Structure 1
Amino acid sequence: MNKFKGKRVLVTGGCQGIGRSIAIELWKAGANVLALSNQPAQLASLKQQYPSIDTVAVDLCDWSKTREVVAALGAFDCLVNNAGIAMIESFLDCKPASFDKTISVNTKAVLNISQIVSKTMIDRKIKGSIVNISSQASIAALKYHAAYCASKGAVDSLTRVMALELGPHGIRANTVNPTVVLTDMGRQVWAAPEKSKGMLDKIPLGRFGEVSEVVNAVLFLLSDDASMINGVHLPVDGGFLAT
């Protein structure tokens, strides 16, 4: 299936975890994929395994350098803002530096990259699609994740504004909001029953998400199958937010 044949797609945080899988599945679907990350070694590993996936390294906390790099990449038909970090601190202990870095990567980078990509879409009259990876934590509080929850709530709000302002240009913007996802790291972090039970008890399906389930939602929203979907937040959470 070459649903994305001939499409150029930029995936941030595209060299590991969910982002890597998104990049690979888009490539399998015929897209010309460019994975962007601040991890050169991981990008090199992806490039070695999939030589036709392009890669570029940049620190998303560097606003000016990121703009320079992304602007030089040319036009894209689709964008996936996947890059993100989570710093584990309670509300009372959340430090200014932690908050600033989390917002910088999780929220400001979405604004920065989306501005560059969407301006080029408008100039080239490209009817594009943008998917921002958010979280169920944008809506439901997650203990010891004050900065993370704030950053993802901001991503949802920013995405709604993007949908409103970019929609008239034929550019759609949506979010995917996963629960805990069993990446390699996720399996390690949530392996202990004493830690996972409290979260699992809140998920009607009784399990965590698989990477493929998030990837499928992202590809759907990017595709023309979702051509009338704009400004939505799609939970991939087994019903967590329904309870």
Structure 2
Amino acid sequence: MKSLLLEPPNVFPATSAGRPVQANAVGESSLNWSERPGKGSPHALRWSWTGRGELDFEVPLGFVPWRGATGDNKVATFSFWVYCQNAMNGQLRFSFGRGDSVDCWFDFRLGFTGWRTAWVAFERDMKGTPHPEMDRIRVSVVGGPATGEVLFDCILPSALLDRRYPDQDEQVPFVNEEAARKGAGMIPLVYYWSRLPAPPSWEPAQAADCEAEIEQICERLDGILLDVDATDQPSFESIFEQAAQWGFDEKTATARPTVWQSILF
């Protein structure tokens, strides 16, 4: 099959005015529905290629340029889920444009099995310059096998998303690179830590070698928690005298605050 008309919410959960999306298998490729459920659809969209092929979506993206510091913190972001039954080399190239022209693009690394997702901001993460009138998404294989197939689901052509949320991983290490360089956020740091070399192996200490140290720690804790001189403890009378200084009213249980507002907030 070379073409499919995708009615939202199948594959495309939301499009401009809920319009159907025309999907075309170009060149040596084919397009059909998979028996495997998608991440949000009853059936994922299967794209197979046996040579130089492309997957083409005719859909108005609805891209909105970022308004900068004068606006909110949301940026136009492209999102999708993709499934690989078998790991393969190469990358999927996602290109966005008007008609036959290409305005911007990015590469998504393969080499995995199962489902993977990506959230890629048009203006920050992609190459090229996005245009508000973009109406086409093209998918091609770069440096990959001559024959293969992938499944797609939950494609969002352009969604406004907080610019802090999309993060890099093994498939899209270029996403939000500035936050990763500054160490801003937990996810970029997790990706950074995952790529550090493994620490040298070490042998755990034997229990017998630690008995003296553990015994010393226990003795010190006992001294702190249990060795209390009762004569050093304040009497109830002195405690009541201290409480009286705060002006508690037994009927209303109110008093002046124990800490100032500037300390609380």
Q: State the structure with more CA Rg.
A: 2
Establish whether TM, by shorter chain, passes 0.5. Answer: no
TM norm structure 2: 0.27
More helix by proportion, 1 or 2? 1
More strand by proportion, 1 or 2? 2
TM norm structure 1: 0.28
